[in-house]
Amino acid sequence: MTDLPSWLSRGTNEIFPSQPDSSDPSENLVARLKATDRPLRIKLGIDPTGADIHIGHSIAMRKLRAFQDAGHKAVLIIGDFTARIGDPTGKSEVRKQLTEADVKRNAETYLDQVKPILDFSEDKLEIRYNSEWLSDLDLNKILELLATMTVGQMLAKEGFDKRYKQESPIFLHEFLYPLMQGYDSVAVEADVELGGTDQKFNIAVGRDLQRHFGRKDDSPPQFGLLLPILLGTDGQQKMSKSLNNYVGLGEAPLAMYSKLEKVPDALIEDYFTQLTKLDLAELPENPRDRQKLLALDVVTQYHGKAAAEEAQKASLELIKGDAKQAEAVPEFSMAELNFPAKFFYVVGKSGLCASTSEAKRQVKGGAVKLDGEKFANPDEMFESAEALAGKVLQVGKKRFVRLVL
RNA sequence: GGGUCGAUGCCCGAGUGGUUAAUGGGGGUGGACUGUAAAUCCACUGGCUCUGCCUACGUUGGUUCAAAUCCAACUCGGCCCA
């Protein structure tokens, strides 16, 4: 049989079912793509559990876009219903439940953030909320769903297995999650479902359920296409907001750029593969140039070329420590401070430190500079704001603020 | 429902009546070094305009000159039995 086209294979971890030598469209995705007489329906579900999505999430979105460009239909499912339960995949704890209002707000910002990635033309994209079909399931239907799987099958799932062995609690409603995600596939008649490698179980459940409930036009059950989980900028754990190793899609150009330009060397090829269309064979030799190219390319995708180049310039200036030169230094008004004031108090209130106590420690530790000069006496008194006006206060290498009246 | 064990700082985890924000590790922040990285070394890591004051060891009460440490009830979780 034929090889996968590169738009399909780039960065793809696994496709299942996969019988590379078969021409049967139910077990070979390339054959399926060829055999179809209609655009395939490509499902990707996201649960609006937080306000931000990051470039790790963008991987599946980009693949979805690739399908759109190849003429297929993206079916983006906003898991407004499932978000309230929480996907137990990879979690060692129960996720806290969200209110309807939270979920709605999150969904809106999500859509906003994926605008640069997806093709939003009407015939290319279908956006569905899974409360549409899940909120009306009656007990009969739920029992039917539950009867398709055994406790053993559920406990074989990685996250549950681990939690079970660690003696941490697993609530019964969590067992429902894979079934609901699978039922989404039934409801939207998905032909392919995209997801991270950790989604294999849930996507496989979708196949089972499609088979169980049958499909309108007797199409074969959905294919699963698994994409790698992006490691965070720390190079250690998967990218996640709570680990603070993420690059958010909604971030400002400079913030995005400066995070991306220090991606560890070991990860940079993965990042190029997953986040850009650049040819890996033509990357620069110098690792530092690679980082810059990556940062520039990704920022361009979300903010345009001009903003990306500006971010690159600003970032260079910041690194040189030339804070006074950089225009991007935010201002902090001292209007609400009470003078006379000790130095650490000013630093603490400036927003550069989390607390005045931390500010004091940072000053003592020699991390604080005023107009580029190290300033290590936390108890230095300033009689009035005028004495500090116009100066640049700096904590560490990355945090700056210009003091104004 | 019965029995039993457990709940400590961002996380893990010591500590079992006595001066002390509370050992250690991870993580984080800062410094040196460097490619702005990694690795390594060092420092810091509850709050407060702070030579001191305040708040902390699941919650609430109690015993005591004194409790994270003892007692009681409650909440939450694990395990065993049903």
- Residue A168: which nucleotide is closest by CA–C1'? B78
**How far are the Cα atoms of A92, A168, A207 from residue A175, in angstroms, in the given order?**
14, 15, 17
A397 CA – B38 C1', rounded, Å: 18
A204 CA – B35 C1', rounded, Å: 45
- Residue A286: which nucleotide is closest by CA–C1'? B35
The pLDDT, as a whole number, for residue A92 is 47
The pLDDT, as a whole number, for residue A33 is 93
A288 strand B contact, CB < 7 Å: yes
A340 strand B contact, CB < 7 Å: yes
| Alpha carbon distance A189, A186 (integer Å) | 5
Pick A121 or A320 by higher pLDDT.
A121
A120 strand B contact, CB < 7 Å: no
A249 CA – B78 C1', rounded, Å: 40
A362 strand B contact, CB < 7 Å: yes
A398 strand B contact, CB < 7 Å: yes
Pick A92 or A172 by higher pLDDT.
A172
A315 strand B contact, CB < 7 Å: yes
Condensed to tens digits (0 to 9), the pLDDT of residues A49-106 reads: 777 789 999 999 999 999 999 999 999 999 998 887 666 655 544 555 567 787 888 8
- Residue A315: which nucleotide is closest by CA–C1'? B36
> What percent of chain A clears pLDDT 90, i.e. is strictly above it?
52
Q: Is the pLDDT score of A319 beyond 80?
A: no
A203 CA – B29 C1', rounded, Å: 41
- Residue A369: which nucleotide is closest by CA–C1'? B30
Highest mean pLDDT among A83-92, A170-179, A215-224, A317-326: A215-224
Scanning the structure block, which residue is given the tokens 């064979």?
A281
The pLDDT, as a whole number, for residue A161 is 79
**How far are the Cα atoms of A104, A190, A326 from residue A133, in angstroms, in the given order?**
17, 15, 53
Condensed to tens digits (0 to 9), the pLDDT of residues A346-382 reads: 999 998 998 999 999 999 988 998 888 889 999 999 9
The pLDDT, as a whole number, for residue A326 is 54
Condensed to tens digits (0 to 9), the pLDDT of residues A192-218 reads: 999 999 899 999 999 999 999 999 888
Condensed to tens digits (0 to 9), the pLDDT of residues A228-282 reads: 989 888 887 788 776 778 898 988 888 889 889 888 888 899 999 999 999 999 9
- Residue A367: which nucleotide is closest by CA–C1'? B30
Q: Is the pLDDT score of A43 beyond 90?
A: yes
A45 strand B contact, CB < 7 Å: no
A98 CA – B59 C1', rounded, Å: 25
Which of the nucleotides in strand B have any atom less than 7 Å away from a protein CB atom? Answer: 27-31, 35-38, 43-50, 77-79
Q: Which among A239, A197, A139 is positioned nearest to A16, based on CA atoms?
A: A197
Kindly state the DSSP code that residue A385 receives in the 8-state scheme: G
| Alpha carbon distance A87, A73 (integer Å) | 25
Q: Which among A225, A222, A230 is positioned nearest to A205, based on CA atoms?
A: A222
A167 strand B contact, CB < 7 Å: yes
Written as one letter, the residue type at A375 is: F
Strand partners, A248: A54
| Alpha carbon distance A315, A115 (integer Å) | 26
- Residue A237: which nucleotide is closest by CA–C1'? B27
A74 CA – B61 C1', rounded, Å: 60
Rounded mean pLDDT, A1-7:
76
- Radius of gyration over alpha carbons of chain A, in Å? 25
Scanning the structure block, which residue is given the tokens 């999650």?
A177
A350 strand B contact, CB < 7 Å: no
The pLDDT, as a whole number, for residue A360 is 93
pLDDT band at A147 (very low <50, low <70, confident <90, very high): very high
Condensed to tens digits (0 to 9), the pLDDT of residues A270-291 reads: 999 999 999 999 999 888 999 9
pLDDT band at A328 (very low <50, low <70, confident <90, very high): low
A377 strand B contact, CB < 7 Å: no
A283 CA – B39 C1', rounded, Å: 25
A287 CA – B2 C1', rounded, Å: 65
The pLDDT, as a whole number, for residue A1 is 46
A173 strand B contact, CB < 7 Å: no
Rounded mean pLDDT, A299-312:
92
Helix (H) or strand (E) holding A132: helix A131-134
The pLDDT, as a whole number, for residue A88 is 61
Least confident span in A11-20, A85-94, A222-231: A85-94
The pLDDT, as a whole number, for residue A390 is 87
The pLDDT, as a whole number, for residue A29 is 94
**For residue A274, what are the contacts with CB-CB under 8 A and spacing of at least 6?**
A11, A59, A62, A227, A228, A230
A225 strand B contact, CB < 7 Å: no
